[in-house]
Structure 1
Amino acid sequence: MRSRRSACRSPSNARSNAMKRLATACLLAALAVPAAAQQLTIGFKAAVDGSDPHLNYTPNRNVQLHVYEPLVLQDEFLKPIPGAASFWRLVDPTTWEFTLREGLTFHDGTPVTADDVVFSIRRARAITGLRTFVVQTRSVAAVEAKDARTVVIRTNGPAPLLPNQLAVIAIVSARATEGATEADFNGGRAAIGTGPYRWVRFTPGQEVVLERAASHWRPQEPWQRVSFRFIPNDSSRVAALLAGDVDVIDNVPPSLATRLRESERTQVVSGPGMFTLYMYLDHFRDQVVFATGADGQPLPRNPIRDARIRQAMNLAINRVALAERGMEGFADPMGQFAAPGFIGHVPSIGVAPHDPARARTLLAEAGYPNGFNLTIQCTNDRFAGDARVCQAIGQMLSSVGIRTTVEALPSAVFFRRANGGQGLDPEFTAFLAIFASSTGVASESMATILRTRNAARGHGSLNRGRYSNAEFDAALDRVDAAFDEAERDRLNAIATRIAIEDNAILPIISLRAGYGVRRGLTLQPRGDGYTFATAIRPAQ
């Protein structure tokens, strides 16, 4: 840049035409410099804790998907589109073939080969613990390189959703990643991907900095540098956007959205989301400690195992009020596992009506004419408004005779107790948590949170209520085996209806992805709520 500026101040004895040509060149250079040096700063609610893309954690994936790419990408409704693979085909009912893009390279310039893909899938499958991709890779029996650009994946049965499942498995460089430590990833040595941005710097608890890759198969990004700055406090994040310290923020809290809408410098953008708030219900205990009689004494049996009680709880909840008032329009009422537009949504299944009179009748029919006492648990820091919505649900249950105490907990405490661990069962009786399958497929959500637990098959890994229904499991088996899309939709509707009519779990609201954006930028909302620099553009 210094050389360009000095040239623009060339000696005054230059000829007039030469000066004109120089002035024109300087003007073009001046116009080009800002475009090449554009920076984008995103205020991010949740802190990233690492760069290893095979550790399944939503905030990490949001940033990592700029750096690493899977074979299959997802559009804003999480439907599969070509990624590192330009093409894929079904060879036979248990064999898929994926063809890598011609000329695809890693950020260090080395070519991507089928061996890197084989290594990546095997590595993702080998990682154990809670933050794994075991559910998404459960159908993979073997993976091999047919040639330098062709990967063959054999499944342990028909797997029509394999492309959707592979959309969450990042391709890493086998050379850079073999034997790499967490520090190698976080420091950048092993953080070698094929994405439009490369990993530059990670400051734990503060920010991640990315830079535009030297080359990429998609059109060049407008942002030379992207910073994800971690600002967990909602008010501080909004204030940073209003002050111009950041260009975009995620997770706009409903209570503060008006400030952004009223400012001349900012705007609010939102879209339908796949994250659904569910009430998980204890289906496995005969007796529980978080439900007691109207007199406060222990109950002889777990009331939630009675289908009439579950239905009463479902009818007591006013989902429209929660979405419109509790979340101030940043949520939609939900009655199933996928919102409209997402894979597996069943148009014929509506939202449960709010019918407190019928709820009281069902309580009486179940043997609780005077109701009972219930403690429900929820998070107080997982999404904007979670504790407020939890309190509102507690009041709705209390109004029909289920006198509810709310225990709102920090996420770290809540999930430790809700997930169980070390072979233990979850502690709670009825509790609220958001969930979405990273594939964006309704049957995958059901397989994770409701299918009978089977670690070997990757079923029910987050079935916190220990629901088990052979008819439901068989219905999902049929969904898993259907290659015809129309037939799969029909079978998915059957499985969905079984779970919803049994009130196996109570879908309540789906969270809308809400962003604050400075004027002069456009942003395409995503159903997964991710904030992609690739979806942010200067306004035309």
Structure 2
Amino acid sequence: MLSSFRRLCAAGIAVTLSLPALASAQELRIGMKAAIDSADPHLLFTPSRDVQLHVWEPLVVQDAQVKPTPGLALSWRPLDDTTWEFTLREDARFHDGSPLTAEDVVFSIRRAQTIEGVRTYRAYIRDIASVEAAGPHKVLIHTSAPSPLLPNNLSTFGIVSARAAQGATAEDFNGGRAAIGTGPYRWGHWTPGQDVTLERNDDYRAGKQPWSRVTFRFLGNDSARVAALLSGDVDVVDAVPAGLYDRVRNNDGKTKLETATSLFALNLTLDTRAQTNFVTGADGKPLAENPLAKREVRQALSHAINRTAIAERAMEGGAVPAGQYMPPGFLGHVPGVQPASYDPALSRRLLSQAGYPQGFGLTLHCLNDRFYGDSKTCQAMGQMFTAIGIRTTVDAMPSAIFFRRALTGANGQPEFSASMSIFGSAAGLPDNAFTSLVQSYDPARGRGTSNLGRYSNPELDALIDKAAATFDPAERQAVLERATRIVFEQDLATIPVFYLKGAWGLRQGLAMEPRGDQYTLATSIRPAN
């Protein structure tokens, strides 16, 4: 009997000791590099979207490889070339208890199309001519032209309550009055520049999340953010720089590192116009013609890049060599298109074939505040170009200066001869990269808006437009493959260098699914057991 009593006491003590651990397990604290700037889900800012996706759900949800899956829309289908039908869930309810209806979707799309702001989702839904409710749970969307990628583009913004958001101001969203979504979490409290707290939606249709509360703390300094994880002040941190990987891994087993290849690719853009600003001859004087306009010269530069060394050394393991816009596993990736081989001898032969056996002088412009290792990568590439006879000067600068000069620095035209920058599609589509980076510059049509080299190929333009209007997935992939081979094998319109890795630090006892868009979603984080 005494033995039984002791066993019961021991069990009671064990239960008592487990209670604090259980309580703390109900809260998830995430250290986030970038602070949000709005609660409004129709204003585009990537860090804000990271948080907003917990509260406001889109019609179409992106999985970890940014592929479209059912969200508030259970299904969708094209009725003809310019009409889409979306069938909504009947079990989705807003946080105030009201059901999701087609009218909420119509209101949300119209609001996303017309909202004022510097950064909006209008570019993603510019094809939508009109939208109408065809019943309580059916929406018809009419487009101005065939738009087979509309479901992908509708994954970018959340659906709001028409009742709550009608006439709502930014303060109404930020303060919570209009912050009514259908997601697994409710908007809690936001202290700008410090943190935002979300509360669990216990009535969520898919059941309760394991975390009763999620707090995002904004910790912009990389070392401070990682230190907060190591000390136990937060449970998860995002954007771990490669230089701090080992600190997360080697913390007496208390923390661990998760990484995944992201869809954010670093590309080298070369000016293909007849004249360019930052190329000189052996005597330091401007050249009569632009050598970068020659395909052999662009090939020489590509083969001069040791992508593996850059990924492992300059980026300290925080990158993966790239040979095209989309990494393996993502929509539009072409398996046969590989990164160019590192071959300095071939580079020198190509320069001779192009008429530059002695090389020339070049200034390489880069960012120094965009991602960990950006300046080191730029310096490494400058040294590699110099090694093949292209004497390279590196000029790295802050993003605000870089993009102004890169886009409209010289009389409203791109200024740089050679520049490096990151591109990633919010919709997870290669089309966005093609349209923005290499389609012929045509601002009236929204084409080539970031085509800094002013490259132009009518055949490629036609393929990009064809892919955008092709509904059959297999046919569309074949068109994209041809476009990919023109850009990276035939013309080398831009030169891919690497894909950034997403990296997260977690305390032991947690498991997560890393995402290619680098978002940190509490819904992807679970107790390991």
Find the counterpart in structure 2 of residue 12 from structure 1.
none
Give the deviation of 1:305 after TM superposition.
1.8
Pairing 1:80-119 to 2, within 5 Å after superposition: 80-119=68-107
Q: Answer yes or no: is the 8 Å Cα contact 2:409–2:415 preserved in 1.
A: no
State the distance in 2 between where 1:241 and 1:60 align: 22
Find the counterpart in structure 2 of residue 532 from structure 1.
521
Find the counterpart in structure 2 of residue 420 from structure 1.
408
Q: 1:511 aligns with which of 500, 510, 515?
A: 500
Give the deviation of 1:435 after TM superposition.
0.9
State the distance in 2 between where 1:98 and 1:261 align: 45
State the distance in 1 between where 2:394 and 2:100 align: 52
Instruction: Go from structure 1 to structure 2 and tell me whether the alpha carbon gap of 1:113 and 1:245 turns closer, same or farther (over 3 Å shift).
Output: same
Find the counterpart in structure 2 of residue 275 from structure 1.
264
- Which amino acid in 2 is paired with 1:383? F
Give the deviation of 1:130 after TM superposition.
5.7
Task: Give deviations 1:435-491, integer Å, cap 9, x for gaps.
Answer: 111111222321222222344544333333333221111111221222222211111
Q: Answer yes or no: is the 8 Å Cα contact 1:251–1:384 preserved in 2.
A: no
State the distance in 2 between where 1:39 and 1:187 align: 22
Instruction: Go from structure 1 to structure 2 and tell me whether the alpha carbon gap of 1:523 and 1:504 turns closer, same or farther (over 3 Å shift).
Output: same
- Which amino acid in 2 is paired with 1:539? A
Instruction: Go from structure 1 to structure 2 and tell me whether the alpha carbon gap of 1:29 and 1:237 turns closer, same or farther (over 3 Å shift).
Output: closer
Give the deviation of 1:413 after TM superposition.
2.6
- Residue 63 in 1 paired to residue 51 in 2? yes
Find the counterpart in structure 2 of residue 41 from structure 1.
29
Structure 2 residue matching 1:323: 3-state secondary structure: helix
Find the counterpart in structure 2 of residue 484 from structure 1.
472
Structure 2 residue matching 1:336: 3-state secondary structure: coil
Q: Answer yes or no: is the 8 Å Cα contact 1:171–1:193 preserved in 2.
A: yes
State the distance in 1 between where 2:401 and 2:462 align: 35
RMSD (CA atoms): 2.5
**TM-score, length-normalised on structure 1?**
0.90
Structure 2 residue matching 1:170: 3-state secondary structure: coil
Instruction: Go from structure 1 to structure 2 and tell me whether the alpha carbon gap of 1:315 and 1:37 turns closer, same or farther (over 3 Å shift).
Output: closer
Q: 1:149 aligns with which of 137, 143, 148?
A: 137
Q: Answer yes or no: is the 8 Å Cα contact 1:317–1:396 preserved in 2.
A: yes
- Which amino acid in 1 is paired with 2:459? E
Q: Which moved more, 1:503-512 or 1:294-303?
A: 294-303
**TM-score, length-normalised on structure 2?**
0.92
Instruction: Go from structure 1 to structure 2 and tell me whether the alpha carbon gap of 1:461 and 1:190 turns closer, same or farther (over 3 Å shift).
Output: farther
Give the deviation of 1:282 after TM superposition.
2.3
Q: Answer yes or no: is the 8 Å Cα contact 1:316–1:397 preserved in 2.
A: yes
Find the counterpart in structure 2 of residue 16 from structure 1.
none
Q: Which moved more, 1:99-108 or 1:469-478?
A: 99-108
- Which amino acid in 2 is paired with 1:341? G
Find the counterpart in structure 2 of residue 522 from structure 1.
511
Give the deviation of 1:82 after TM superposition.
0.7
Q: Answer yes or no: is the 8 Å Cα contact 1:36–1:224 preserved in 2.
A: no
Q: 1:384 aligns with which of 372, 375, 386?
A: 372
Instruction: Go from structure 1 to structure 2 and tell me whether the alpha carbon gap of 1:128 and 1:313 turns closer, same or farther (over 3 Å shift).
Output: farther
Q: 1:201 aligns with which of 154, 168, 189?
A: 189
Give the deviation of 1:30 after TM superposition.
8.4
- Which amino acid in 1 is paired with 2:190? F
Q: Which moved more, 1:109-118 or 1:269-278?
A: 109-118
Instruction: Go from structure 1 to structure 2 and tell me whether the alpha carbon gap of 1:262 and 1:434 turns closer, same or farther (over 3 Å shift).
Output: same
State the distance in 1 between where 2:178 and 2:450 align: 30
Q: Answer yes or no: is the 8 Å Cα contact 2:90–2:100 preserved in 1.
A: no
Instruction: Go from structure 1 to structure 2 and tell me whether the alpha carbon gap of 1:458 and 1:115 turns closer, same or farther (over 3 Å shift).
Output: farther
Instruction: Go from structure 1 to structure 2 and tell me whether the alpha carbon gap of 1:128 and 1:289 turns closer, same or farther (over 3 Å shift).
Output: farther
Find the counterpart in structure 1 of residue 310 from structure 2.
322
State the distance in 1 between where 2:411 and 2:202 align: 48
Count matched residues: 517
Give the deviation of 1:419 after TM superposition.
3.5
Q: Answer yes or no: is the 8 Å Cα contact 2:437–2:448 preserved in 1.
A: yes
Q: Which moved more, 1:410-419 or 1:433-442?
A: 410-419
Find the counterpart in structure 2 of residue 13 from structure 1.
none
Give the deviation of 1:88 after TM superposition.
1.5
Pairing 1:455-474 to 2, within 5 Å after superposition: 455-474=443-462
Find the counterpart in structure 1 of residue 5 from structure 2.
none
Q: 1:189 aligns with which of 177, 180, 193?
A: 177
State the distance in 1 between where 2:20 and 2:91 align: 28
Q: Answer yes or no: is the 8 Å Cα contact 1:271–1:526 preserved in 2.
A: yes
Instruction: Go from structure 1 to structure 2 and tell me whether the alpha carbon gap of 1:239 and 1:30 turns closer, same or farther (over 3 Å shift).
Output: closer
Task: Give deviations 1:21-58, integer Å, cap 9, x for gaps.
Answer: xx99xx79985994597211111112211122222222
Find the counterpart in structure 1 of residue 395 from structure 2.
407
State the distance in 1 between where 2:164 and 2:449 align: 31
Find the counterpart in structure 2 of residue 220 from structure 1.
208
Find the counterpart in structure 2 of residue 235 from structure 1.
223
Find the counterpart in structure 1 of residue 157 from structure 2.
169
- Which amino acid in 1 is paired with 2:346? R
Q: Answer yes or no: is the 8 Å Cα contact 2:147–2:468 preserved in 1.
A: yes
Structure 1 residue matching 2:482: 3-state secondary structure: helix
> % of aligned pairs identical?
54
Find the counterpart in structure 1 of residue 439 from structure 2.
451
Structure 2, unaligned runs of 5 or more: 1-7
Structure 2 residue matching 1:425: 3-state secondary structure: coil
Q: Which moved more, 1:334-343 or 1:203-212?
A: 203-212
Q: 2:347 aligns with which of 359, 367, 371?
A: 359
Find the counterpart in structure 1 of residue 124 from structure 2.
136
Structure 1 residue matching 2:396: 3-state secondary structure: strand
Q: Answer yes or no: is the 8 Å Cα contact 2:439–2:447 preserved in 1.
A: yes
